[in-house]
Amino acid sequence: MYDVCIVGSGAGGAPVAYELSNAGFSVVVLEKGKYYKEEDFSKDELAISRRDMYSPKLEDEYHIIKERTQDGSIEVYDGREYSWSFWNGSMVGGSSNLMSGYFYRLKPNDFRLKSTYGEIKGANVVDWPISYEELEPFYTKVEDVIGVSGEVKAHSFLEPRSTSKFPYTALQENGVTKWFDKACNELKFESIPIPRAILPIDALKRGACSYSNFCGSYPCATGAKGSSRAALLQKCKAKIITEAFVYQLISDKSKITQVKYFDSSGKSHTIKAKIFILAAQPIETSRLLLNSKNSFFPNGLANNNNQVGKNLIFSAGGTGKGRFYFENLSKNEQETLMQRGLFFNRSLQQWYEFEAEGKKYKGGTIDFLFEHSNIISRAMREIYDDKGNITWGRDLERKIKKTLTTSRVLTFEVFNDWLPTNECFVSVDESKKDKYGVNVGVINLYGHPHDLKVGEFLAKKATEVLEKMGAKEISMSISSSPPPNLVAGGCRFGENPKTSVLDKNCKSHELENLYITDASFMPTGGSVPYTWTIYANSFRVAKHLLGVMMEA
């Protein structure tokens, strides 16, 4: 029997494995995917954009998606038929291998959304059971252990920090950032550098960034990016069992007693432990609990209050872009624009809170970044002419060459709260099975109209910057389409056992040895990417568990 069994090896599970195994406890990690290392990674565009190398095939594993529109009607989609995938990284380290590494802390008011901004009709907004001050030491720990680089710059919504600097200096930046800073200065906007979970130098027994500009969706071949695999799992004593699909948790009325998983050949195995940690990502964590029902928990484990799967959230917002053409630039500006590999680490948080129509609103974050370097996606955008006709042959070749060598796109991403509602949740379909014979998850989608209002406000601010910089063909798109790599909720933590699944230490209210440490615990998402907060909370829970286990 192990002291601890962890299901999932991403940002939610790895800190617990790292802390507890290095403290001398026996820890086993069950990971559905394979164990890839730096030497296995390359910038293979076909493997990523055409073959989904690091995520399950939809014909084998899929979701049913039920999308509720504003008029109340529901459209049902089979993920296989519509190529609609909610999978991210299925490998040791999970999707943290594939992140861009934009690391933001939540702000103090993110922990007290209801108290600060009030109720919103149709939304289940609540305060967190912990404060920013309680999580702050663990944000700092992540900076040191995972490795965060950047510059701490004062601005209107800079969160309180116990240190004045990041442990690593900022990554090298493209010269166009100076155009951005100048435009913001003229607009009286606060340009701030983006902290990144990427090492600029060899450190922490990992290599420095190689400036390939292939961060998002690609694993890092140098180990510079702070994935849970590179930063934690390769440095801890936990046993990692790969290609282990966990399909059931077995419990009595008060404890999990064992976990069952299939290996790559389909053979079933059982693991026993004193404490069980779920960190399989929010949709799959809820699905596993719902599929593990028994006589003590007829609605699913830890679900006698019918809260498992509820209040699923994503990141609201959208994207936009503008293009810079050579004909509008000097020779030096052209050379600056086409600098390759260097980062465009700039964002705006000036409207993390704003007033409109006499009311205070929670706003969000706007990231600016260059169009991804993946040549396939960039070339595919050139196959149609201005009239919508397909271009091919020499004409297409000339068009692609001209576009890629004499212009460049600067994009932006808007992050604002996806409000939790009764209509956005995870359930299971007992009539449909995946390749393992397990009920598939159902993702019930609904975006609150408030999300769009805030997102559009922020996007318009972003277009002002692009316009001031001299970009052309400026566009923006704000929608309720959920980003599958930014998902949280489903097993929110809280003080009331009737309205939450977990207590403040992420332990199940109903099972005394079950903890959940992926993004499922989050009752609201804030207006930033989640990874830094997932890491920090997992280190927080690990500290709590160390205390519990030392006393046992």
pLDDT digits (tens, 9 = 90+) for 236-252: 999 999 999 999 999 99
C-alpha span between 31 and 515 (Å, rounded): 17
Burial of 197 (0-12, 13-18, 19+ CB in 10 A): buried
Is pLDDT above 80 for 52?
A: no
pLDDT tens by residue, 288-347: 999 999 999 999 999 999 999 999 999 999 999 999 999 999 999 999 999 999 999 999
Please, which residues have CB within 8 angstroms of residue 299's CB and are 6 or more apart in sequence?
290, 293, 306, 308
Is pLDDT above 80 for 523?
A: yes
Question: For residue 173, which of 342, 341, 337, 371 has the smallest C-alpha distance?
Answer: 342
Is pLDDT above 90 for 100?
A: yes
Q: Which amino acid is at 396?
A: L
For the segment 51-80, the average pLDDT, to the nearest whole number, is 91
Q: Count the helix, strand and coil residues of the chain and give each as a percent rounded to the nearest 5.
A: 30, 25, 45
pLDDT band at 79 (very low <50, low <70, confident <90, very high): very high
pLDDT at 357: 83
Q: Give me 255's structure tokens.
A: 């404890």
pLDDT at 22: 98
For the segment 372-385, the average pLDDT, to the nearest whole number, is 85
Strands (E) in 299-358, as ranges, are 310-325, 346-348, 353-356
Percentage of the chain exceeding pLDDT 90: 88
Q: In whole angstroms, how far apart are CA 338 and each of 45, 218, 404?
A: 21, 22, 10
pLDDT at 69: 82
pLDDT at 356: 86
Choice between 88 and 267, residue whose per-residue pLDDT is larger = 267
pLDDT at 70: 76
For the segment 279-288, the average pLDDT, to the nearest whole number, is 98
For the segment 215-226, the average pLDDT, to the nearest whole number, is 94
HEC string of 263-301 equals CCCCCEEEEEEEEEEECCCHHHHHHHHHCCCCCCCCCCC
* 252 within 8 A of 407, measured Cβ to Cβ: no
pLDDT at 539: 98
pLDDT tens by residue, 458-483: 999 999 999 999 999 999 999 999 99
For the segment 444-448, the average pLDDT, to the nearest whole number, is 97
pLDDT at 382: 86
pLDDT at 50: 64
pLDDT band at 198 (very low <50, low <70, confident <90, very high): very high
Is pLDDT above 90 for 395?
A: no
Domains of the chain: 2-551 (3.50.50.60)
Burial of 299 (0-12, 13-18, 19+ CB in 10 A): middle
Given the DSSP bridges, would you call strands 472-479 and 74-78 parallel, antiparallel or unpaired?
A: unpaired
pLDDT tens by residue, 354-372: 998 888 999 999 999 999 8
pLDDT at 259: 98
C-alpha span between 5 and 518 (Å, rounded): 14
HEC string of 132-197 equals HHHHHHHHHHHHHHHHCECCCCCCCCCCCCCCCCCCECCCCECCHHHHHHHHHHHHCCCCEECCEC
Is pLDDT above 80 for 502?
A: yes
pLDDT at 120: 95
